[in-house]
Amino acid sequence: MTERRDYLAANGGKRAPMPGFVLQARDRGDGDVAKRIGITVSKKVGNAVIRNRMKRRFRALAREVLPEHGLAGHDHVLIGRASGIERPYDELVRDLKKALGRVARRP
């Protein structure tokens, strides 16, 4: 996702807060089954080096988890939290799978 309006629309979707990030997921309802990802990390989390490191971790996380566990036709947004950079990668994988299960179950 590259446009601000897509991120704002996803903000109105389902949320699943986790220790290292918050997952937002919104059904686009456009008939396309593509799974889109957006990543955002605010300046509160740290300096540019920390934020970019976290974004790289989240991109790798999305490449690994979303193809199998992501929701078809949805926009997924990962919002970084300060504890996300120190959290072990395998725990982030587990957290994302859990978060995707939560938003899939919610009406």
pLDDT digit string, tens, across residues 21-42: 999 999 988 888 899 999 999 9
What own/partner pairs with CB < 8 Å and gap ≥ 24 does 2-10 have?
6/36, 6/38, 6/75, 7/38, 7/40, 7/77, 9/75, 10/38, 10/75, 10/76, 10/77
Rounded Cα gap, residues 35 and 56, in angstroms: 18
Q: What length is written for the chain?
A: 107
Whether residue 107 is predicted with pLDDT greater than 80 in this model: the reply is no
* pTM score: 0.90
pLDDT tens for 46-102 read 999 999 999 999 999 999 999 999 999 999 999 999 988 999 999 999 999 999 999
Q: Which pLDDT band holds residue 103 (cuts at 50, 70, 90)?
A: very high
Asked if 77 and 40 touch (Cβ cutoff 8 Å), the reply is yes
